[in-house]
Amino acid sequence: MRRPVALRLQAALGTLALAAATGVVLSMPEAAAAAGGATGYATQNGGTTGGAGGQTVRATTGTAIHQALCGRASSSTPITIEVEGTINHGNTSKVSGDSCNTAADKIELKQISNVTLVGVGNGAVFDQLGIHIREASNIVIQNVTVRNVKKSGSPTSNGGDAIGMESDVRNVWVDHTTLEASGGESEGYDGLFDMKANTQYVTLSYSTLRNSGRGGLIGSSESDVSNGYVTFHHNLYENIDSRAPLLRGGTAHMYNNHYKGLSKSGINSRAGAKAKVDSNYFEDSKDVLGTFYTDAAGSWQVSGNIYDNVTWSQPGEDNNPAGPDPQSNTSVSIPYSYPLDDASCVPDVVSATAGANKGLKVSDGSCTPQNPDPTDPTDPTDPTDPDPTDPPTGTNLSIGAGSDGSSKASGTSYGDVRDGDLGTYWSPAGTTGSVSVKWSSATTVSKINIREAAGSAGAIGSYRVLNHDSGAVLASGSGAGVIGFQAVSLKKITFEITGASGTPRIAEFETYAG
């Protein structure tokens, strides 16, 4: 459903206001939002849209990026930050505010959600400065270069990770990036793409990782196994010692990647991890798949891969290479569809598409790079989206359930959203707040219907739907009406209003099983 012109104008005016408040220069002529849309596991758990539907600002320094984050109405107000130029320690200062938690030595995306960082113009380079994602969700990073981030020596940033995710991170899509170092741990560098401490639903696509001792990991130790559901596709791993990636627990899907010059090991599945390895091209490398440096075994499912000049070590107590004739020892079910290029053309396709400043080209499975989908992802037109004018059928599970929330205006009640009476309503204390429906036992829900009270239609702007039990984002977008998502069993579901024009009035928060 496309937004009315009036709402687009309102968004543009809001963007100008934010730009003026933060000193960030607004970019009008270039399309900043992520082209196409998220792929892989980032499409699950409610999907990954970043700052779609929010304001767009331009930043040429790290401080300006932090100012844009801190200038939002709340920590979840959607925003797209167009980045151009070199971001480094000299131009990246800590900025304070209620909607951010930043630091001076890194780009800090901490305790926030609904953010897109995208390189534009002549390109964006994060030089010796890592991107730090903590306790955050719905993040898109696209078309940027992150290089030479160190954990020792000078200067240091983000623990030595180019992009590092840690502590209850959900739904991150990193696309068309170049992540590179200039050596291994002895030279002060660590991982290029690390996920730790309960990080889930991540996709790394069309990216180049090179010249590093460590490509990246999922799980910081054999006991850190709450991470997973990560997709790696159409990436180039080049001149990497090991960890391409290292998996400790969890599930990962690798397809159509080109691995070249892995000197020690590649995909290292350990501690009960499962790796689905589809139609990749491994070249001039050693031990590209298996369990290495531990007796805590992982597993893999393989199909369609090409092994070109790959050597394999002998099995040992702490060494279990999958080759020289890799065979599947597990089965992995993938919940999303994906176009699969034949492995024979992967080097050419990846060469034309992977990395920053490649025009965001992608592949549709035909072995021919394609220009990105010009569809504006802030205005989804997916015909499968529910029509908000067509209420769902079945039993409204909210009737007779409990309710609560984070804020409410004087004289309104949370219970008014589940009483079946359109004449009563709940309002937050201001323009943002949340209201929940809860049950005494787990209830399956796949659709909600937010019905605004008479006289307040159109007041609700951006929103998130949350699984209160787990904190997972089930859906996000703008406007009231029917909202569908993958069926989930929970005891409490929350509708969080993150942006509005005026004071919203919710007459009914209906919930349905299907």
Rounded Cα distance, 163 and 133, in Å = 8
Contacts 24+ apart (CB under 8 A), 85-89: 85/60, 85/61, 85/122, 85/124, 85/125, 86/125, 86/127, 87/61, 87/62, 87/124, 87/125, 87/126, 87/127, 87/129, 88/62, 88/126, 88/127, 88/128, 88/129, 89/128, 89/129, 89/155, 89/157
Residue 116 phi/psi, 5° resolution? -120, 130
Rounded Cα distance, 108 and 130, in Å = 9
Contact residues for 112 (Cβ-Cβ < 8 A; gap 6+)? 69, 75, 76, 99, 100, 101, 136
Contacts 24+ apart (CB under 8 A), 363-371: 363/234, 363/256, 363/339, 364/339, 365/339, 365/340, 365/341, 366/339, 366/341, 367/341, 367/342
Does the CA dihedral 416-422-426-432 come out positive or negative?
Answer: positive
CB atoms within 10 A of CB 448: 25
- Of residues 58, 72, 243, 248, which has the active-site annotation? 243
Strand partners, 125: 86, 145
Burial group, residue 189, by CB count within 10 angstroms (0-12, 13-18, 19+): buried
**Active-site annotation holds for 170:** no
> Contact at 8 Å (CB) between 113 and 473?
yes
> Contact at 8 Å (CB) between 163 and 149?
no
Q: At what angle do helices 5-22 and 62-70 cross, to 10 degrees?
A: 120
Q: To which H or E segment does residue 65 belong?
A: helix 62-70
Rounded Cα distance, 431 and 477, in Å = 16
Helix %, strand %, coil % of the chain (to 5) = 10, 40, 45
Residue 16 phi/psi, 5° resolution? -60, -40
Length of the chain, in residues: 514
Contact residues for 420 (Cβ-Cβ < 8 A; gap 6+)? 396, 399, 508
Measured CA to CA in angstroms, residue 413 lies from 429, 461, 507, 511 at distances of: 11, 21, 10, 18
Does the CA dihedral 16-17-19-20 come out positive or negative?
Answer: positive
Q: Tell me the catalytic residues.
A: 243
